[in-house]
Amino acid sequence: MSEHIQLSLALCRIGLYTCLRTLCCKGPPPPRPEYDVVCIGLAGSGKTSLLSRLSSESTDTIVPTTGADHIKKYWSRYYQGSQGVVFVVNSACSPAELEASRAELHLALQHPQLCTLPFLILANHQDQPAARPVPEIKKYFELEPLARGKRWILAGSSTADVEDVRQSFIQLISLLEDRDAEPARI
């Protein structure tokens, strides 16, 4: 073999060795932080469907939990140890259901175990014709005065656009990672 080809082969071996050593010999990647987040909302808001879509599970096999509002009195049992809250609102619901969601969100924002935690509020079912836009939800729920001084995000969502939901969760993770952040309003 010519000297030039031998040199090229040697450089390729060194390059491959360096690349493999870099990939394999540095040890495992650092562990991803895990957070305990409670997901609440009235029946029919889409909690299970959104979480299933985020985890790439089929929504075809989901058994609806509609009618499970009688377990709201037990929600607080899940609050202990939570580091964040996801509150899902059906933005296409009736006015009475929207008022009930508003009341439950107000209770959650003022609950002693949740009031200091970051909130992700998802105005779900944005793909439905009757869906109220996010600014209307924000105004109706009186989020500016109620959540003043808290870290929170309000975003539209639907199971049809899981990427928007994923981005909202990324923003929530940022709030969870930055515990000393100034109160955020997005």
Same domain, 36 and 53: yes
Is 62 within 8 Å of 14 (Cβ atoms)? no
d(CA 78, CA 39): 9
Max alpha carbon distance in the chain (Å)?
A: 84
The string of pLDDT tens digits covering residues 7-25 is 333 334 445 555 455 556 6
Number of structural domains, the chain?
A: 2
Same domain, 60 and 140: yes
Of residues 126 and 17, more confidently modeled: 126
Domain membership of residue 107 (yes or no) is yes
Domain membership of residue 128 (yes or no) is yes
Domain membership of residue 164 (yes or no) is yes
Same domain, 78 and 137: yes
Domain membership of residue 182 (yes or no) is no
Same domain, 48 and 103: yes
Domain membership of residue 137 (yes or no) is yes
Same domain, 98 and 150: yes
Same domain, 83 and 20: no
Q: Output the pLDDT for position 63.
A: 64
Domain membership of residue 111 (yes or no) is yes
d(CA 122, CA 169): 10
The string of pLDDT tens digits covering residues 97-123 is 999 999 999 999 889 999 899 999 999
Element at 105 (helix H, strand E): helix 95-110
With left for phi above 0 and alpha for psi between -120 and 50, is residue 46 left, alpha or beta? left
Same domain, 81 and 64: yes
Is 108 within 8 Å of 76 (Cβ atoms)? no
Q: Output the pLDDT for position 94.
A: 95
d(CA 93, CA 141): 14
d(CA 175, CA 57): 26
Encoded amino acid at 175, one letter: L
Same domain, 75 and 165: yes
Q: What percent of the chain has pLDDT over 70?
A: 70
The 3-state DSSP class for residue 44 equals coil
Domain membership of residue 183 (yes or no) is no
Range of the domain at 53: 32-177
The string of pLDDT tens digits covering residues 151-179 is 899 999 998 888 999 999 999 999 998 86
Domain membership of residue 48 (yes or no) is yes
The CATH number given to whatever domain includes residue 153 is: 3.40.50.300
Same domain, 123 and 106: yes
Is 125 within 8 Å of 164 (Cβ atoms)? no
pTM of this structure: 0.76
With left for phi above 0 and alpha for psi between -120 and 50, is residue 25 left, alpha or beta? alpha
Nearest residue to 50 (alpha-carbon basis) of 174, 155, 177: 155
Same domain, 43 and 122: yes
Same domain, 9 and 85: no
Same domain, 85 and 24: no
